[in-house]
């Protein structure tokens, strides 16, 4: 417990290099442990190179950044890839795209998954900092809400470990990022249904990730651009905790049963949720697209596995991973190169496109009022 607390304070930048840490007596009082326990913890951290002792003075934080610069003047070729998930949905394609570029350039890749959990993100960032990776590709955890781990990213900057963010980013950090234009994607989803004559369209959006909020913004913008009144009850939001629960589907059933007018279209946050929505519609003996049209997002493998081939928004997946890898390599080279280098690295935004399959159908002739 004592060791982990000190490590966290070092890795999040609270304790700076060469700063004296709390005394043995203070640590004993703080954690209600014996002096022997504190000394064991400090000795372990000294042996790990995180702390050093000065006789008669106290215990100090090692100059890790200086040590890194002295020992790693040539890149050690280590990159960490941190995603919210690793083994399912579109993430394997993103990771393969990044790995293909990094391996060609001789980089060793270590994968981490936060499961979209802040505490997991914290532990992973501590590992990344302690193991002196050359660079980090990271998908932010719950990017739409305040993040308690911002200090860790600031410490990465202080230690001159470059990082880029994929799919979303923490706005307060203004990092280099590789993303999809999610607002435009949400707009294209909704516009497609509007132009097919749909007016009463349900929209499902994940609200603790930036992607979901931007896709909802696109949904609202399409309604406004086409001069169609927005029905607030048709906007259904959910978060990471309720992602795999029945909550979004319960709200779907409620709207199908209680909407004053027939629901004819659905915009889904992603293909994964769209598959679960399709199952509910089947149970209600609703035919797709004869009774109701649905548009997914991501053009994942799920969009073509069922008998209903899903109209969806194309996500760059592998290309996004490749672009992220190229950018982090560029940042590492800038970091390790001469100070006068002209190399630059800038954020990149992919533009979405609509992939039309057989899950949507025209129900009325559309008269454009845009």
For 189-243, the DSSP string reads HHHHHHHTT--SEEEEEESSSHHHHHHHHHHHHHHHHTT----GGGEEEE-TTTT
Contacts for 1 with CB less than 8 Å, ≥ 6 apart: 31, 33
pLDDT (mean) for 307-325: 96
- Confidence tier at 69 by pLDDT (50, 70, 90): very low
Structure confidence at residue 370 (pLDDT)? 56
Pick from 69-83, 138-152, 297-311: least confident: 69-83
> 338 pLDDT exceeds 80?
no
Show me where the domains of the chain are located: 2-62, 71-175+318-350, 182-315
- Confidence tier at 66 by pLDDT (50, 70, 90): very low
- Confidence tier at 331 by pLDDT (50, 70, 90): very high
> 366 pLDDT exceeds 70?
no
> Would you say 133 and 79 are in contact if contact means Cβ atoms under 8 Å apart?
yes
Distance CA 40, CA 170 (A): 38
Give SS3 for 31: helix
Q: E-assigned strands of the chain?
A: 51-54, 58-61, 78-83, 108-113, 135-138, 163-166, 177-180, 201-206, 235-238, 265-267, 293-295, 312-313, 348-350, 354-355
Contacts for 276 with CB less than 8 Å, ≥ 6 apart: 248, 249
- Confidence tier at 334 by pLDDT (50, 70, 90): confident
Structure confidence at residue 70 (pLDDT)? 41
Structure confidence at residue 336 (pLDDT)? 75
Distances (CA, A) of 199 to 228, 266, 360: 7, 10, 13
Structure confidence at residue 169 (pLDDT)? 96
pLDDT digits (tens, 9 = 90+) for 31-64: 898 989 988 988 888 888 888 888 888 898 887 6
Distances (CA, A) of 12 to 219, 308, 348: 38, 48, 28
Please state whether the peptide bond connecting residue 52 to the residue before it is cis, i.e. omega within 30 degrees of 0: no
pLDDT (mean) for 306-314: 95
2-62 belongs to CATH 1.10.10.10: yes
> 15 pLDDT exceeds 90?
no
More confident residue, 328 or 89: 328
pLDDT (mean) for 81-101: 92
Distance CA 147, CA 28 (A): 30
Structure confidence at residue 138 (pLDDT)? 97
Structure confidence at residue 196 (pLDDT)? 96
> Would you say 202 and 236 are in contact if contact means Cβ atoms under 8 Å apart?
yes
- Confidence tier at 87 by pLDDT (50, 70, 90): confident
pLDDT digits (tens, 9 = 90+) for 289-301: 999 999 999 999 9
> Would you say 225 and 370 are in contact if contact means Cβ atoms under 8 Å apart?
yes
> 304 pLDDT exceeds 90?
yes
Distance CA 360, CA 198 (A): 10
Distance CA 331, CA 344 (A): 8
More confident residue, 18 or 268: 268
182-315 belongs to CATH 1.10.150.530: no
71-175+318-350 belongs to CATH 3.40.50.2300: yes
Per the prediction, the chain carries an average pLDDT of 90
2-62 and 71-175+318-350 have identical folds: no
Computed on alpha carbons and rounded to an integer, the radius of gyration of the chain in Å comes to: 25
pLDDT digits (tens, 9 = 90+) for 194-253: 999 999 999 999 999 999 999 999 999 999 999 999 999 999 999 988 766 788 899 999
Structure confidence at residue 298 (pLDDT)? 97
């Amino acid at each position: 417990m004592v060791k982990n607390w000190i490590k966290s304070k070092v890795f999040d930048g609270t304790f700076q290099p060469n700063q004296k840490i709390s005394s043995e007596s203070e640590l004993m009082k703080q954690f209600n442990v014996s002096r022997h326990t504190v000394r064991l913890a400090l000795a372990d951290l000294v042996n790990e190179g995180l702390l050093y002792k000065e006789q008669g003075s106290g215990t100090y934080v090692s100059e890790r950044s200086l040590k890194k610069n002295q020992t790693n003047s040539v890149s050690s070729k280590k990159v960490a890839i941190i995603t919210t998930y690793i083994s399912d949905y579109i993430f394997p394609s993103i990771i393969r795209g990044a790995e293909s570029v990094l391996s060609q350039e001789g980089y060793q890749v270590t994968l981490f998954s936060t499961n979209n959990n802040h505490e997991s993100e914290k532990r992973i960032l501590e590992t990344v900092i302690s193991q002196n990776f050359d660079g980090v590709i990271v998908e932010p955890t719950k990017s739409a809400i305040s993040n308690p781990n911002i200090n860790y990213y600031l410490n990465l900057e202080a230690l001159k470990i470059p990082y880029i963010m994929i799919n979303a980013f923490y706005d307060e950090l203004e990092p280099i990022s590789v993303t999809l234009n999610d607002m435009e994607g949400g707009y294209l989803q909704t516009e497609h249904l509007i132009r097919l004559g749909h007016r009463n369209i349900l929209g499902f959006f994940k609200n603790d990730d930036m992607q979901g909020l931007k896709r909802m913004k696109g949904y609202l913008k399409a309604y406004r651009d086409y001069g169609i009144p927005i029905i607030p009850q048709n906007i259904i939001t959910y978060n990471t905790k309720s992602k795999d629960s029945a909550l979004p589907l319960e709200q779907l059933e409620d709207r199908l049963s209680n909407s004053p007018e027939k629901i004819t279209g659905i915009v889904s946050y992603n293909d994964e949720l769209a598959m679960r929505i399709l199952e509910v519609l089947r149970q209600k003996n609703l035919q797709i697209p004869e009774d109701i049209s649905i548009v997914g997002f991501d053009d994942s493998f799920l969009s073509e596995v069922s008998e209903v081939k899903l109209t969806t928004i194309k996500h760059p997946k592998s290309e996004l991973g490749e672009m992220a890898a190229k950018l982090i390599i560029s940042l590492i080279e800038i970091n390790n190169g001469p100070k006068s280098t002209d190399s630059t690295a800038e954020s990149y935004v992919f533009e979405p496109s609509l992939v039309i399959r057989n899950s949507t159908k025209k129900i009325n002739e559309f008269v454009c009022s845009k």
